[in-house]
């Protein structure tokens, strides 16, 4: 028998190639004929199927495919059968190409639509607004204090936080050997300056700059070498007030402090003054007010005393007026001071003032 006759019938080879394609193509049947992919198909799965179809095309239509081998047989077929065999090969190839392209087109549209859906932006959906910031509780209280004193005719003064010995001590009638000037109580710099230990320094600057009469308050940060604990901090906020004019007496001090506390805590607030000592005032007194929580009956906030200690006050010492170049024979004045941090802790029921400086958002958001 001739070698050509011993080979398998070319038409059988074409049919074998077609059946092999049909067997592998079954998994893609759900994408054929323009059918929409099932709702459960994910983008990753569609891209995997797209790669599989591309590999299927290579296997059945590539240069090394069974169908490519059938094309090479056309020239060896008998002349009278060559035309019909060639048409059979072309028809089989066209059928395979059509079915693969249908699947490729379906997957391509699905993948493009999925990408568009993922990357699309619905402009009708409300945006995510950033969380609105708010003032710190110390700032809230400071502004409330400032508003009260501005309504009483006082000016708001601010000045430097690093001072010389003169403004921090000498001008405030604090002598050379006073304990407040010791290094264990004050922050000194290498150049001999010190962080101010009270905002009284602002009062000296204001009197030197503006002269008398003067009515002002000086809120701001002060620094003392205290060990941090629930009631102390090396940096805290303070507000001090000053009124210098002709004929100022202790009665003006009591009236001003009393009016401030009534506006701050309510019209029924009662104040009391206790004798004390401060080097920059004479006479000096500490002032308390009736508890805003219990009305003076006694509670946890006032330690069952009915009174809350708030700050110190007194008549400005003549030496302080002279240091500020104010004639102590003509003018007199009163001064007072209180800690904003401590008042803030009292008003908001805080048992540890360190919470005010730890920047814990969980704590601070309560004051929005």
Section 212-241 average pLDDT: 91
For residue 184, pLDDT beyond 80: no
Q: What are the tens digits of pLDDT across the range 61-94? A: 888 888 888 888 888 888 888 888 888 888 888 8
User: Across the chain, what does the average pLDDT equal?
Assistant: 87
> Residue 112's pLDDT is what?
87
| Most distant CA pair in the chain, distance | 145
pLDDT above 50: residue 20: yes
pLDDT of residue 51 exceeding 50 = yes
If you average pLDDT over each of 297-306, 334-343, 350-359, which comes out highest? 334-343
CB 53 within 8 A of CB 103: yes
Q: ∠28-63-85 over CA atoms, to 5°?
A: 85
pLDDT for the residue numbered 7: 56
Distance CA 128, CA 328 (A): 63
Q: Are strands 281-290 and 307-316 parallel, antiparallel or unpaired?
A: antiparallel
pLDDT of 150 > 70? The answer is yes
Residue 224: count other Cβ atoms within 10 Å of its Cβ.
17
Residue 253 pLDDT > 60? yes
Mean pLDDT score, 359-364: 86
pLDDT value, residue 67 = 83
- Is residue 124's pLDDT more than 50? yes
- Identify whether 283 is preceded by a cis peptide bond (ω within 30 of 0): yes
């Amino acid at each position: 028998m001739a070698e050509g006759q011993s080979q398998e019938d070319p038409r059988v080879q074409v049919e074998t190639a077609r059946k092999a394609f049909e067997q592998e193509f079954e998994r893609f049947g759900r994408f054929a004929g323009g059918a929409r992919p099932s709702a459960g198909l994910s983008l990753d799965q569609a891209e995997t199927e797209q790669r599989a179809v591309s590999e299927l095309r290579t296997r059945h239509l590539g240069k090394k495919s069974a169908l490519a081998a059938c094309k090479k047989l056309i020239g060896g077929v008998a002349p009278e059968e060559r035309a019909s065999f060639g048409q059979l090969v072309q028809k089989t190839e066209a059928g395979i190409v059509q079915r693969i392209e249908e699947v490729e087109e379906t997957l391509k549209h699905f993948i493009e639509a999925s990408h568009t859906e993922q990357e699309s932006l619905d402009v009708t959906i409300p945006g995510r607004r950033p969380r609105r910031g708010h003032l710190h509780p110390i700032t809230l209280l400071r502004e409330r204090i400032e508003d009260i004193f501005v309504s009483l005719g006082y000016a708001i003064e601010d000045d430097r936080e690093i001072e010389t010995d003169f403004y921090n001590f000498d001008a405030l009638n604090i002598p050379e050997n006073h304990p407040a000037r010791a290094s264990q109580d004050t922050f000194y710099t290498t150049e001999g300056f010190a962080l101010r230990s009270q905002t009284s320094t602002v009062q000296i600057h204001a009197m030197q700059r503006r002269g008398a009469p003067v009515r002002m308050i000086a809120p701001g940060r002060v620094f003392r070498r205290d060990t941090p604990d629930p009631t102390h901090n090396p940096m805290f906020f303070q507000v001090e007030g000053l009124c210098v004019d002709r004929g100022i007496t202790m009665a003006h001090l009591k009236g001003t402090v009393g009016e401030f506390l009534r506006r701050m805590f309510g019209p029924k607030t009662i104040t009391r003054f206790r004798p004390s000592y401060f080097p920059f005032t004479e006479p000096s007194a500490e002032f308390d007010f009736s508890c805003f929580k219990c009305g003076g009956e006694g509670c946890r906030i006032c330690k069952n005393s009915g009174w809350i200690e708030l700050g110190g006050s007194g008549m400005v010492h003549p030496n302080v007026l002279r240091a500020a170049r104010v004639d102590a024979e003509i003018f007199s004045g009163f001064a007072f001071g209180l800690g904003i941090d401590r008042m803030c802790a009292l008003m908001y029921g805080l048992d540890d003032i360190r919470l005010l400086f730890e920047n814990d958002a969980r704590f601070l958001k309560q004051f929005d």
